[in-house]
Structure 1
Amino acid sequence: MPFQHPEEVGYGHVIERYAARNDSGRARYLVLRSGRFLRPEWPHGESFARHLIDDAATITDAELEALLGYEWRSRLTAAWLIGVDRRDRFRERIGDLLLASEVGFSGSAYCFALARFGTHADAEILAAYLDHYLPRTDLRYDQHAALGALLRLDAHLGTHHADRFTRPDGLWDQWVDALPHLRGHPAYTPVERRRSTDLQCDFANGWRRR
């Protein structure tokens, strides 16, 4: 599906209103991408979280679709808003975007949204993504985020979807070992990938709409 600027579908305001909104001196999409809002010492954390929670509750489905139809900044923002509000009616759309991996940087937000939805259907989407992309040892897409989300879902659902990826010398180890800048990196163990997703979901769970 070709990219469409939100102006083309009558929603030209959504980029400035939701993706580029300046709560903390930097555009929202940059803060979401950096993860700085997850650090307790970040001075803008409460304000950022409150605005994010409020926007997630009030943005319309049509506005979210306009964001999802454009480039990575708007898609990343939309996926976070969808995940925070647990709008699981976007499951298929998010899954299609994750599997297509048309643009960079937004895939981790899709994985967050699926982790927030929290069902077997979401685990199956993540497993399908890993089945497709972990054997591609030449690519660093969002395999790390997908594994973290899947491990979290396994823990909550009592399932074992991730086992076939994380067994010793399995697809996860092969993928990490094939990328020199990841090999031996402490952030790329399954435990750390699960912890990263837990931090994101705990952040979303820890705030309530005003």
Structure 2
Amino acid sequence: MPPQPPDETGRNHAVKRYVTRTYGGLPRYLVLNSGHFMGPRWRRTTRFTRHLIDDATTITDAELDALLAFEWRSRLTAAWLIGVDRRERFRARLGDLLLASEVSYSGGAYCFALARFGTHTDAEILTAYLDRYLPRTDLHYDQPAALGALLHLDAHLGTHHAARFTEPDGLWAAWAEGVGHLGHPSDSPAELRRWTDRQCEFANGWERP
């Protein structure tokens, strides 16, 4: 369970309602982090999805701010809710958190939200992240998620931001080799883009009119 913040901040209530609510015995943040909700078992029920859509539209900006200022579980959940509801006013905040890379696990959710926003500005944020962290072959942060999101945006926008990273001798190949992921099928650029595509298709398929 995540650590509980002081009640007076209002964050304790937000954590209980949005982050640790359980589905199939698993807290929401864990389901989101695992991607289980996009698998066959979870597609047989709409409970998790409907609650996610409902909460994404009803959570307040103040509650999102409180979650983003807390630990990784809360930040991950908040970013998913922001992405599902496409609250673009949080773009700069998510970009700052992604570039800072202060905590583990939540960065992939920031990348999902930026992919959902779908603009050139989001592509620039992801490009800046990759420029900063792909040369760091000693660090395995959210480079795969960022590249997948950028490739998704390139396809959506008709741009080629990711091309210089994915060329044969580019930064992606050097980073993947440095961290021991070169040749890993799930870390190929095509698979990384496909994963972001699936995330966005999931959100697109359930968003409110």
For normalisation by structure 1, the TM-score amounts to 0.94
The answer as to whether partners of 2:20 and 2:27 remain within 8 angstroms in 1 is: yes
* Cα distance change, pair 16–188 in 1 and its aligned pair in 2 (3 A): same
**Equivalence for 1:126:** 126
**Structure 2: stretches of 5+ with no match in the other structure:** none
The answer as to whether partners of 1:76 and 1:107 remain within 8 angstroms in 2 is: yes
* Cα distance change, pair 6–116 in 1 and its aligned pair in 2 (3 A): farther
* Cα distance change, pair 160–107 in 1 and its aligned pair in 2 (3 A): same
The answer as to whether partners of 2:19 and 2:77 remain within 8 angstroms in 1 is: yes
Aligned AA for 2:189? P
Aligned AA for 2:11? Y
Shift of 1:12: 2.2
Question: 1:13-52 maps to which residues of 2 (within 5 A)?
Answer: 13-42=13-42, 45-52=45-52
* Cα distance between partner residues in 2 of 1:208 and 1:6: 33
**Equivalence for 1:149:** 149
**Equivalence for 2:80:** 80
The answer as to whether partners of 1:50 and 1:209 remain within 8 angstroms in 2 is: no
Question: 1:175-194 maps to which residues of 2 (within 5 A)?
Answer: 175-180=175-180, 182-194=181-193
The answer as to whether partners of 1:19 and 1:28 remain within 8 angstroms in 2 is: yes
* Cα distance change, pair 165–11 in 1 and its aligned pair in 2 (3 A): same
**Structure 1: stretches of 5+ with no match in the other structure:** none
**Alpha-carbon displacement from aligned partner over 1:78-119 (angstroms, at most 9, x marks no partner):** 000000000000000000000000000000000000000000
Count of aligned residue pairs for this structure pair:
206
* Cα distance between partner residues in 2 of 1:113 and 1:42: 21
Aligned AA for 2:191? E
* Cα distance between partner residues in 2 of 1:64 and 1:144: 25
Shift of 1:22: 1.1
* Cα distance change, pair 44–60 in 1 and its aligned pair in 2 (3 A): farther
For normalisation by structure 2, the TM-score amounts to 0.94
**Alpha-carbon displacement from aligned partner over 1:15-54 (angstroms, at most 9, x marks no partner):** 1100001132110000001101011233664211111000
The answer as to whether partners of 2:84 and 2:207 remain within 8 angstroms in 1 is: no
**Alpha-carbon displacement from aligned partner over 1:128-180 (angstroms, at most 9, x marks no partner):** 00000000001110000000000010111111110110011110000111122
The answer as to whether partners of 1:108 and 1:145 remain within 8 angstroms in 2 is: yes
Aligned AA for 1:23? Y
* Cα distance between partner residues in 2 of 1:129 and 1:8: 35
* Cα distance between partner residues in 1 of 2:10 and 2:196: 34
